Copies of this chain bind each other. A is one copy, B any other.
């Protein structure tokens, strides 16, 4: 194995990092999961050529490669273990081109989502895929997982916002998928195939992104407090059913809301109370806010309209406190099921059933505008207890039965791979494995992820 590191060093010099901190950091992401064993080295790629060199050496030596960005994944997809090279593209963070006239930008994968947003804003442009992690997560990671975020119902998912990709293949060859035009149907859509492929098909080294004009006008925010989570979920579904499209609609259940209030030093909410926080934008923001308020009042909610941006920021601070608030309760396994919006109340019934059946607390936050729920399984210690995995298994099956999926935006990684075949069926799972083999015949691209039978 020393030979591989020696070959990398010979070709890439100081970009090859075997220091303890770098190697240890590459074992983990933000899921709480950590790879067994330590990677051989971290390669800090600074160019497409660096990535190609790394992949050529990996292919020549049969060494597995795990591509990493900022390491903010929530499914263990970028965790790198024994005998593997961690290929970091975090340093490839340039914006190569911004074209307001064609509504596109060409970027390297390592740029942070928020940094891209700040680069585009002076042009009056933005890239819509907007994960909650945008200040710490990369565009490449967003593409690799199909991460999305809060705005997907109104502004689309990652697949809708990428025109073309530059990809280094397992053996170091470079291909360019897609094109710079709005339309194009030349053969199979490999751009879409790469999105969400979690480093198993190639290394994304460049992306041509489809941009939007910044939405003119101001945003409006309201909250609605409901006596229980099911009523709140029904209220959110009623907004969608009424044909109104908020830009963001977030639900916090009672345990989440109480924990967030406690963390922020706010008065505790009414026991059992669940909150929706809703943002509208664009020319009709104020009108839509009124319409949504009427629907939520009719659904049993107590509505508060933010008078100004400062008050809106206060209301959103509660939602943003969700993850740190969960850490005050114990260790959290953050799940990511997604269901059709009309099925939100039924999905919350399932969560309540699972809480009772397994004796667990599962505080849940939900992108209610698009039906994506993040149930947090709270436990003590570092290892996910078997009982929690059994409850999660129950949760995944419930979401699939409601027409949904076991992951809306976090990906499969290593933590959910044992359920992949349940959702896809064996036939489709085998086809996907076949595609993987076409791109990676030697099986060196992120092996053991996505398709592995057991985390």
When the two chains form their complex, are residues A176 and B103 in contact, meaning their CB atoms are under 8 A apart? no
Q: Given A99-B340, A342-B102, A425-B175, are A412 and B187 also a contact pair (CB < 8 Å)?
A: yes
Whether a CB of chain B sits under 8 angstroms from the CB of A444 is: no
Q: State which of B187, B243, B370 has its C-beta within 8 Å of the C-beta of A432.
A: B187
B152 and A432 form a contact (CB under 8 A): no
Q: Per-residue 0/1 for A144-162: is the Cβ within 8 Å of any B Cβ (1 yes, 0 no)?
A: 0111100011001101100
Which residues of chain B are near A450, meaning CB under 8 Å? Answer: 187
| Assembled-state Cα–Cα distance A100/B145 (Å) | 29
Which of A103, A406, A420 has the largest count of B CB atoms less than 10 A from its CB?
A: A103
Would you call A424 an interface residue if the criterion is a C-beta within 8 Å of the partner chain's C-beta atoms?
yes
Once the chains bind, are A243 and B183 in contact (CB under 8 Å)? no
> Which residues 341-367 of A sit at the B interface, judged by CB distance below 8 A?
341-342, 367
A173-188 interface (Cβ within 8 A of B): 173, 175-177, 179-188
CB contact under 8 A between A186 and B406, given known A99-B342, A340-B181: yes
What's the least CB distance linking A61 to chain B, in Å?
22
A341–B182 CB distance below 8 A? yes
Q: Which of A14-22, A192-200, A382-390 contacts B (4 or more CB under 8 A)?
A: A192-200
Q: Are B338 and A102 in contact (CB under 8 A)?
A: no
Residues on B with C-beta less than 8 A from A169 are 427, 431
- Are B428's CB and A177's CB within 8 A? yes
Give bound CA distance, A409 to B429, whole Å.
30
| A66 sits at the interface (CB 8 A) | no
- A408 with B187: in contact, given A241-B100, A243-B213 (CB under 8 Å)? no
- Check B407–A185 contact: CB distance below 8 A: yes
Chain B nearest CB from A216 CB (Å) reads 9
Contact present for A408 and B183 (CB under 8 Å):
yes
Q: Please tell me which stretch of A38-46, A291-299, A433-441 contacts chain B, meaning at least 4 of its Cβ atoms lie within 8 angstroms of it.
A: A433-441
Q: Which residues of B contact A100 (CB under 8 A)?
A: 241, 243
- Count chain B CB atoms within 10 A of each CB in A100, A432, A450 and give the residue with the most: A432
A256, CB-defined interface residue at 8 Å: no
Q: Whole-angstrom distance between the alpha carbons of A424 and B185 in the complex?
A: 11
A409–B183 touching, CB < 8 Å: yes
* Contact of B423 with A240 in the complex, beta carbons under 8 Å: no
Q: How far is the CA of A169 from the CA of B426 in the complex (A)?
A: 13
In the assembly, how many copies of this chain are there?
2
Q: Are A159 and B189 in contact (CB under 8 A)?
A: yes
Please determine whether A188 and B404 come into contact, CB atoms closer than 8 angstroms: no
A392 contacts B by Cβ under 8 Å: no
Contacts of A313 in B (CB 8 A): none
A284 to B412, CA, bound (A): 42
Q: How far is the CB of A203 from chain B (nearest CB, A)?
A: 14
Please name 21 pairs of A and B residues whose Cβ atoms are closer than 8 Å in the assembled complex, sorted by A: A147-B185, A153-B182, A157-B183, A175-B428, A180-B403, A181-B338, A181-B404, A182-B341, A183-B367, A184-B338, A185-B409, A185-B411, A186-B407, A186-B412, A188-B196, A192-B192, A192-B193, A213-B243, A213-B245, A283-B283, A435-B438
Which A residues are closer than 8 A to B by beta carbons?
99-104, 124, 145-148, 152-153, 156-157, 159-160, 169, 173, 175-177, 179-190, 192-193, 195-197, 201, 213, 237, 240-241, 243, 245, 283-284, 338-342, 367, 370-372, 403-412, 420, 423-425, 427-429, 431-432, 434-435, 437-439, 450-451
Known contacts A175-B428, A213-B243; 9 additional CB pairs below 8 A are A99-B342, A147-B185, A156-B156, A173-B427, A177-B428, A181-B339, A181-B371, A187-B424, A434-B439
